[in-house]
Chains A and B, each alone.
Chain A
Amino acid sequence: MPYLIRASRIATRPARAARRYPVGAAALTALVAMGLAAVFAEQLAPFDPLSHDEANALLAPSAEHLFGTDRFGRDVFSRVLYGARISLMVGLVSVLVGTVIGTTIGIISAYASGVADLVIQRFIDALMAFPHLLMALLLVVVLEPSPVSVIIGITVAFVPQVARIARAQALSVKAESYVMAAKSLGGSPTRIVGRYVLPNSITPVVIHATGFMEGAVLTEAALSFLGLGVPPPDPSWGRMLKEGSEGFLEAAPWLTIFPGLALTVLVFCVALIGDGVRDFLDPRQ
């Protein structure tokens, strides 16, 4: 596959790739750094993110507490580190699962056509009528609050959009004469979908997936901000923003600035990587 060959070239010559896609490379480096920080939070965090220390509550940022402390004396820096776990996990898992499910539904719908397509598409219309935050909120309320239900909620909210994109692409690929050629060679429907329709429909889905990851990270933060995300005491950037905004905005702005900054940087990096992926996958370059 041409993309895999190019991808392997990039992997073997990172310096050249970085020169070609400087912004994307920088964003990817930042994202990998955040990922490593999240994975090794236990080793990197100077304090336990959950232990209360009332004597040192609401301290301004200092050499000891880089991002200050909250009203229970918990170290904000450590909490931001641990919070990255939730954001990244929710973002990656829901995008991965959502993309796989959405692509499957979309391609089946396009390939089946006729009544099956009609029914699936009207069902997707119904799902898309809800704004995705509302959809995710609804599901999280119905399920018990846990990281898993947040992931389920966000996944379900994004599946219809992925399905639409995959279906649109598969419909145009289906009309290509190489698909007719495969049919006239005697290829089974599974083979035609797996070897012809899917590989040629996936590019725009992959490009949009980065956009969904931004949306997923922000939706998780929004749910946590509304108190419906990851249950306390596990740190989540969304809930840290909420706690910091309840009477501490002026007195202790570091409570909101640092988790907000972390969230912004993460979403920004994902967006820039999305642009890089788009450039990379564009055959016209």
Chain B
Amino acid sequence: MTQADSAVAAEAVNVDDDTLLQVNNLKMYFPVNSRGIIPRHVADVKAVDDISFFVRKGETLGVVGESGCGKTTVGRCIMQVYDITEGEVIFEGTDLAKLSPGRMRRMRRRLQMIFQDPYSSLNPRMTAGSIIGEPIRIHNMASGRGDYVDQVEELLRVVGLNPYMRDRYPHEFSGGQRQRIGIARALAVRPSLIICDEPVSALDVSIQAQVINLLEELQEQFDLTYIFIAHDLSVVRHISDRVAVMYLGKIVEIATREELYENPLHPYTRALMSAVPIPDPTVERQRERIVLTGDVPSPIRPPSGCRFHTRCPIAIDICNQEDPEFRDMGGDHWVACHRV
């Protein structure tokens, strides 16, 4: 999609009051430096390369893709953990990329993140209570010691932990409990948007369901909007309203959940869908599986034209020459493919 097109699309969406977050032409390049006493910039890892999407208030946008496709980077770019290379991240009408560090710090009350690894995302030297209370202290949200303790205990209760656990250290909790602490920490500032970066990937399947259910209850209770990043298609299907599929730093397809799972248009999405096993032996035996050959190309030197053409089963000549436009196929279904 060209600059002009996306600007038009952005304006069209901005008129819509329901939009909470609008990402325009986001690029995140990580420099690769030569080794030596004085490092030299030799190349870029194009982790996220010119993507645009929006998230409506109260919905859950699932983001799927294989390892290294840039989905985690997108989340971190929205959080402004990285200095983005180019593009706009418009959240509640403000471009986060243009905020000063001080204003951005205050803005962080509005958007929060839940991390993938519940073991490394909690400071091992802080108690559960002080981990959850940290955002309250940072943003001076408690009126006094008593109020602070009340808030922390309430947050523990909300995520299904016992208030007496607040004096324990992270290593004394199980993985699922630690993820609940991470969720309570994100909730502490009463944000409107929570970016869930593979929040259940590190957990046992039985615990995954509990955490997913908790996230859904909290969404209802606190009017939350989620960006749910994951590689597990069934989990994403369960929790998302709309789903974005990423491949090598690009969004290849966005659609509502039903539309994407029933009628995938992009060949990459189709391949992903066909990799999900169906729990019915008769159907499973009969259906056709699309198996992709080859490896994901390097994001340092992505293929010309459509980035998927090297592995695409239906690629034609134009695919290695022209980057396909991100087109609206109607009914909130966007896809970037020449063959559709």
Contacts and interface: CB of A to CB of B under 8 A. Distances in A.
A182 B117 contact: no
Given A181-B115, A181-B121, A186 B79 contact: no
Contacts of A186: 104-106, 108-109, 135, 138-139
Interface string B59-99: 00000000000000000100101000000000000000000
B194 to A, nearest CB: 11
B138 A195 contact: no
B121 A185 contact: no
Nearest to B37: A122
B112 interface: yes
A178 B123 contact: yes
A185 B124 contact: no
Contact of B185 (A122, A180, A185, A188): A185
A180 B108 contact: no
Contacts of A188: 105, 138
Interface in B138-189: 138-139, 169, 171, 182, 185, 189
Interface in A170-210: 176-178, 180-188, 191, 195-196, 199-200
A2 interface: yes
A182 B134 CA distance: 8
B125 A199 contact: yes
Contacts of A185: 108, 112, 134-135, 138, 185, 189
B125 A1 contact: yes
Nearest to B114: A181
Contact of A182 (B76, B104, B116, B123): B123
A180 B75 CA distance: 12
A188 B139 CA distance: 11
Given A177-B115, A180-B81, A181-B115, A187 B125 contact: no
Interface in B206-236: none
B81 A184 contact: yes
A141 B112 CA distance: 58
B89 to A, nearest CB: 14
A195 B113 CA distance: 20
Contacts of B275: none
Nearest to B75: A184
A177 B76 CA distance: 12
B120 interface: yes
Interface string A94-110: 00000000000000000
Nearest to B136: A185
A179 to B, nearest CB: 8
A195 B134 CA distance: 10
B133 to A, nearest CB: 11
A178 B120 contact: yes
A191 B130 CA distance: 14
A2 B169 contact: yes
B126 interface: yes
Interface in B25-47: 37-38
B20 interface: no
Contacts of A176: 120
A191 B124 contact: no
Contacts of B125: 1-2, 199-200
Contacts of B37: 122
A177 B108 contact: no
Contact of A191 (B115, B138, B182): B138
A191 B140 CA distance: 14
A20 B113 CA distance: 43
Contacts of A177: 115-117, 120-121
A177 B139 CA distance: 21
B115 to A, nearest CB: 5
Nearest to B124: A200
B122 interface: yes
Nearest to A125: B37
B77 to A, nearest CB: 12
Contacts of B123: 178, 182, 195-196, 199-200
Contacts of A1: 125
Contacts of B76: 180
A186 B79 CA distance: 10
A1 B167 CA distance: 10
Nearest to B102: A188
A7 B126 CA distance: 17
A184 B79 contact: yes
A183 B121 contact: no
B81 A183 contact: yes
A196 B123 CA distance: 7
A184 B108 contact: yes
A195 B138 CA distance: 12
B22 to A, nearest CB: 20
Contact of A187 (B38, B124, B134): B134
A182 B123 CA distance: 9
A1 B124 CA distance: 9
Contacts of A196: 123
Interface string A1-22: 1100000000000000000000
Interface string A41-60: 00000000000000000000
7 contacts: A118-B38, A177-B116, A180-B76, A182-B134, A186-B106, A186-B138, A196-B123
User: Considering the complex of A and B, which 9 residue pairs feature the smallest CB-CB distances, nearest first?
Assistant: A186-B108, A186-B105, A177-B121, A199-B125, A178-B123, A185-B135, A177-B120, A184-B79, A184-B113
Given A177-B121, A180-B76, A199-B123, 15 more contacts: A2-B125, A177-B116, A177-B117, A177-B120, A178-B120, A180-B121, A182-B123, A184-B79, A185-B185, A186-B109, A186-B139, A187-B105, A188-B138, A196-B123, A200-B124
